[in-house]
Chain A
Amino acid sequence: MQYSSFTTWILSNGISNQTLELLIAIPVLVTLVSIGRYILGSKTYGIYAPIILSIAYSYTGLRYGLVITTVVIITSLLSHRVLRKIRMHYITRVAINYCILTISLIIFLILINRYGLTLENMTNIPSLAIISIAALGDFFTKQYIRKSLKTSLLTLFSTLVISILGWYVITRDLLSTYLINNLWIIPILILINLFIGQFKGLRIKDILRFKSILKEKENA
C-alpha cells in the first residue's frame, strides 16, 4: 500500500500500522463524543467508555460485540434488581454484580459453543475485549441507581451510537488508510474541539426541551 512520506517515516520508526490506525481513531472518536455532548446534547458514559467500546468492537466484530454488550447489560440489570432487595454496602453490591456477570458470560460462551446460535467463532474473541465490554455494566448500573432506568438506557444508547461510529472508523480500511495518510486531521480536530469548547448556543436537546416556550410566542 502506498503511504504518504510522513506516514511512511512514522511507520519506519517502529510504530505498527495497526497501532497508528487505532491511535488516530481516538481523536476522531473523542471529537464525536464532544459533538454529541455539546451540539446534540446527548450524554455518553464519559469519554473513556466509547473509546474502549469501539476498540473492543473492532476486535470482536460489531455483531459479537453488541451481543456481548446486551448480555452484560441484561445481566447487570437483573442482578441489580435481585440485589436491591438485600441490604448491603455499595461496593459489595458492585462486586457481586461482577461475579454474576462472569458466571453468565461463561455460561453464554458455553451455550454458543454447544448450539452455535449463529454466533460461531465467538470463543476465539480476545478475552481482553470481552472484559472491556463487561466494564460497561458498572457504568450502566451506577447511573441506573443514581438517576433512573430511562436515563441510563438513553446514555447507553448514545454511548453505543458513538462506539459504533468509532468501530466503523477503525474497521473501514478505506477510512483508516485515509486517516493515516492525512495526519493533519488531528490539528483540525483540535481546532474543532476548540470551537465546540467556546460554543454557547443551544444544544439540539435544549431546543427540544424549550420549544413550548417558543410556541407561546406564536400564540401571543
Chain B
Amino acid sequence: MHRNSIKDILGLNRRNQEYIRPYNSLSAKMIADNKILTKRILRKEEVNTSDVYKLIRNKKQLEYLDWDSLPKSFVIKPNKGTGGNGIIVFYGKKKGQNAWIRPNGKTMTQRDIILHIENILEGRFSMGSKKDIAIIEERVKIAPPLKQYSYKGVPDIRIICFNGVPIMAMTRLPTKRSNGTGNLHAGAICTGIDISTGITTFSMHMKTKGLMSDTYEMIDKTIDLKENKVLSGIQIPNWDNLLTIALKCQRATKLGYIGVDITIDQDKGPIVFEVNARPGLGIQVANQAGLRWRLEKVKGLEVKSIKHGIRIGKNLFGGEIEESIESISGRKVINIVEKVYVYHKPKISNRKKKTKIKIDKESTKAFIDTGVLTTRISTRLSNRIGHTDTNKYFKQLEIPQHFQTFKDAQEYIDIHGQKIVTSLDIIRLAKIVEDGQIVIRPVINIEIKISEDKKELEAVITDDIPYPLIIGRAELTGYLIDTSATFK
C-alpha cells in the first residue's frame, strides 16, 4: 500500500494554485458553474443528464408557468447554485390540492414554490448572489444497490479526474442529518471507492461537534436507517462505464481537474448531475489516501484515449481493497491468473577473464490452482529459463510411458529415482496424471516472484497445462485468491 505521508495530502492552497488555476480555464469553469450549459455540452458527448421540464428565467415566465403540465414528481434547482443549496425535490402532488409532497413528508403549496423560485431568480443560492435561472427537471429514480444505503434523497458517485485519468472516487449517501442531500458538510456519509474494481472501501461522515476544523469520523455502517448496513464491499454496478462517463465529461468541459457527480437512474442508467471545477478534498478521508501523490504521478502523462486513461488509473491507484484485506488478515490477495516473474538459471560468462553471473527474469501468466499440491511448469517455459539439457536428458531416459496405478509409479521411483536424480538439476521425480494417465515427470527448483515476494519452489515439468505455470497449494499459504479479477 502506498504509505501516506503529509506530503501526499492535497491541501486547499495547493489545490487552488497547482491544479484549479492552471488546469481549469475561466471559460471551462463557467461551463461547470452553469448547469444548463453543462447539460448542453455533455449532450454532444452523448452523456445522459436529467431531462429538463421547464426553465424559468424571469418573473414573467414564472407567472405564466403551466403548473398542470408538470409531472407528478420533479426537482427545482438553481442554475448556478453551490453545494446543493436551493434544490428541492417533490415526490408527488397532494390529491385535490395545489400542493406538492417533499421527501421528508412536508408539503409545499404552489405559493411556497413560487416564492422559492423567486428566491432562486434573485440569486439567493447562486455564487456571488447574481441573478439566476430556475430549472425544473425530472426526479431521478434511484437504482439499487445504493438506494438501500441512503436515507431518502439521491446517493451519487463522485469521480475526480485529472489529465484524462480517473484519480479517486467516492459515493455520497444522504442521511437523516443531511436532510436527504449528498452534502458532506450537512452530514452525508462518504464512502471511498477502489478505482480498479468499483468496490467501496472506507466510510466516514462529518462529526456534529468540533470547533476549529471540519473533523471526520470513520464509520463502518450506515447510521440512521431502520436496519443499518455495512458500508464497505459494495460493488458499484457498471464501474468501467462510470469511469468512461467521467472522462467524457472531462473531455467535453475541458476542465483539467474535475469532479464529476453521477447518479444511477433505475430506467436511464448513469446520469451526470453536475460537474465540479473545484471538487472538495474530503474525498481523501473517505479513501484514506492522499490526492497529491496521485495527481503528481499523472501530471504530464500522455493519455491517448479514455480507455488508456482508465487503464492508467486502475493500474496506478487501484488495489485498495486487496491492500485493506491484507492489512486486516496479514495475507496478500492474488488473482486466479496472476502475473509472476520467473527467474532464469544463472548464466555464467567468461569474457575478458572476468566471470560474470547474469540472472534474467521474464514475466508470465500463472494459474493459481489449489487443486494440485506441487507447482507445475510447461516444458517450453522450463527450456526458456535454462533447463533444455534437463529436458533432453529426461527424454532419453527409458521410463515407461505410463503406469497403471500410483503404486506402480511410486515403486518405479523408489527403484530408479536415486540414479536419475543425481544429474542435471532434477531434484526428484513426481508421479502425476497427464491426459488421464499416470506418468512420471522430473521436478526442478525454480525461482519466481509473486506479488512482490521472491520464492524458491519445486516445479514439475509437464505439458498438460493450459498456462505456462500453475502454482500449487504448497506455495499458497498466506495468500487469498481473488476469483473475480483476471490477468490484466
Stretch at the interface among A14-22, A122-130, A173-181, A199-207: A199-207
Instruction: From A87, A91, A205, name the one whose CB has the most chain B CB atoms within 10 angstroms.
Output: A87
Instruction: From A148, A151, A198, A203, name the one whose CB has the most chain B CB atoms within 10 angstroms.
Output: A203
A217 at the interface (CB under 8 A from B): yes
Tell me the smallest distance from the CB of A218 to a CB of chain B, in Å.
Answer: 10
Query: What band does the interface of chain B fall in when counting residues whose beta carbon is under 8 Å from A?
Result: 35 or more
From B3, B124, B185, B289, give the contact of A90 (CB < 8 A). Answer: B124
CA distance A209 to B284 in the complex (A): 10
Q: Is the CB of B4 within 8 A of A216?
A: yes
Q: Is the CB of B13 within 8 A of A89?
A: no
Q: Is the CB of A219 within 8 A of B211?
A: no
Using Cβ atoms and an 8 Å threshold, which residues of chain B touch A201? 11, 13-14
Considering the complex, give the chain A residue whose CB is closest to the CB of B209.
A150
B9 at the interface (CB under 8 A from A): yes
Q: Is the CB of B213 within 8 A of A202?
A: no
CA distance A146 to B123 in the complex (A): 12
Q: Is the CB of B218 within 8 A of A202?
A: no
Tell me the smallest distance from the CB of A38 to a CB of chain B, in Å.
Answer: 6
> What is the number of contacts between chain A and chain B, taking CB atoms within 8 Å?
89
Q: Which of A184-220 contact B (CB under 8 A)?
A: 198-203, 205-210, 212-214, 216-217, 219-220
Tell me the smallest distance from the CB of A162 to a CB of chain B, in Å.
Answer: 15
Tell me the smallest distance from the CB of A37 to a CB of chain B, in Å.
Answer: 10
Q: Is the CB of B285 within 8 A of A213?
A: yes
- Over the window 131-150 of chain A, the binary record of Cβ atoms lying under 8 Å from chain B Cβ atoms (1 yes, 0 no) is 00000000000000111100
Tell me the smallest distance from the CB of A92 to a CB of chain B, in Å.
Answer: 10
Considering the complex, give the chain A residue whose CB is closest to the CB of B282.
A209
A23 at the interface (CB under 8 A from B): no
CA distance A198 to B13 in the complex (A): 9
A41 at the interface (CB under 8 A from B): yes
CA distance A57 to B289 in the complex (A): 45
Stretch at the interface among B112-120, B134-142, B360-368, B457-465: B112-120
Q: Is the CB of A206 within 8 A of B4?
A: no
Using Cβ atoms and an 8 Å threshold, which residues of chain B touch A67? none
CA distance A216 to B8 in the complex (A): 13
Q: Is the CB of B118 within 8 A of A205?
A: no
- Over the window 299-329 of chain B, the binary record of Cβ atoms lying under 8 Å from chain A Cβ atoms (1 yes, 0 no) is 0000000000000000000000000000100
From A154, A199, A214, give the contact of B13 (CB < 8 A). Answer: A199
Using Cβ atoms and an 8 Å threshold, which residues of chain A touch B85? 146
Q: Is the CB of A212 within 8 A of B288?
A: yes
Q: Is the CB of A214 within 8 A of B4?
A: yes
Instruction: From A147, A148, A198, A210, name the one whose CB has the most chain B CB atoms within 10 angstroms.
Output: A210
From A147, A203, A206, give the contact of B185 (CB < 8 A). Answer: A147
Using Cβ atoms and an 8 Å threshold, which residues of chain B touch A202? 6, 9, 11, 13-14
Considering the complex, give the chain B residue whose CB is closest to the CB of A198.
B17
Q: Is the CB of A203 within 8 A of B12?
A: yes
Tell me the smallest distance from the CB of A161 to a CB of chain B, in Å.
Answer: 12
Tell me the smallest distance from the CB of A165 to a CB of chain B, in Å.
Answer: 18
Tell me the smallest distance from the CB of B4 to a CB of chain A, in Å.
Answer: 5
Using Cβ atoms and an 8 Å threshold, which residues of chain A touch B5? 214, 217
Q: Which of B1-37 contact A (CB under 8 A)?
A: 1, 3-6, 9, 11-14, 17-18
Considering the complex, give the chain A residue whose CB is closest to the CB of B119.
A90
Using Cβ atoms and an 8 Å threshold, which residues of chain A touch B122? 89-91
CA distance A199 to B327 in the complex (A): 36
Query: What band does the interface of chain A fall in when counting residues whose beta carbon is under 8 Å from B?
Result: 20 to 34
- Over the window 270-301 of chain B, the binary record of Cβ atoms lying under 8 Å from chain A Cβ atoms (1 yes, 0 no) is 00000000000110110011100000000000
Tell me the smallest distance from the CB of B219 to a CB of chain A, in Å.
Answer: 12
CA distance A217 to B8 in the complex (A): 11
Tell me the smallest distance from the CB of A115 to a CB of chain B, in Å.
Answer: 34
Using Cβ atoms and an 8 Å threshold, which residues of chain A touch B3? 217, 220
Using Cβ atoms and an 8 Å threshold, which residues of chain B touch A219? 327
Tell me the smallest distance from the CB of A133 to a CB of chain B, in Å.
Answer: 23
CA distance A119 to B180 in the complex (A): 48
Q: Is the CB of B284 within 8 A of A210?
A: yes
Using Cβ atoms and an 8 Å threshold, which residues of chain B touch A148? 185-186
Q: Is the CB of A206 within 8 A of B115?
A: no
B216 at the interface (CB under 8 A from A): yes
CA distance A91 to B119 in the complex (A): 10
- Over the window 124-144 of chain B, the binary record of Cβ atoms lying under 8 Å from chain A Cβ atoms (1 yes, 0 no) is 100000000000000000000
CA distance A210 to B216 in the complex (A): 8
**Given contacts A147-B185, A216-B4, are A203 and B288 in contact (CB under 8 A)?**
no
**Given contacts A89-B118, A200-B18, A201-B13, are A212 and B216 in contact (CB under 8 A)?**
yes
B397 at the interface (CB under 8 A from A): no
Q: Is the CB of A200 within 8 A of B13?
A: yes
Considering the complex, give the chain B residue whose CB is closest to the CB of A154.
B211
Q: Is the CB of A210 within 8 A of B9?
A: yes
Using Cβ atoms and an 8 Å threshold, which residues of chain B touch A206? 9, 11-13, 281
Q: Is the CB of B215 within 8 A of A200?
A: no
Q: Is the CB of B118 within 8 A of A203?
A: no
CA distance A219 to B215 in the complex (A): 20
B415 at the interface (CB under 8 A from A): no
Q: Is the CB of A213 within 8 A of B4?
A: yes
Q: What are 21 A-B pairs with beta-carbon distances under 8 A?
A: A41-B12, A87-B111, A90-B119, A90-B122, A148-B185, A151-B185, A198-B17, A200-B14, A202-B9, A202-B11, A203-B11, A206-B11, A206-B12, A209-B213, A212-B216, A213-B4, A213-B284, A213-B288, A213-B289, A217-B5, A219-B327
Other 14 A-B pairs with CB < 8 A, given A202-B11, A203-B12, A212-B218:
A87-B111, A87-B112, A87-B115, A90-B124, A151-B185, A200-B13, A206-B9, A206-B12, A207-B6, A208-B213, A209-B216, A209-B282, A210-B285, A213-B284
The 6 closest A-B pairs by CB, nearest first: A206-B11, A202-B11, A208-B213, A200-B14, A217-B4, A216-B288
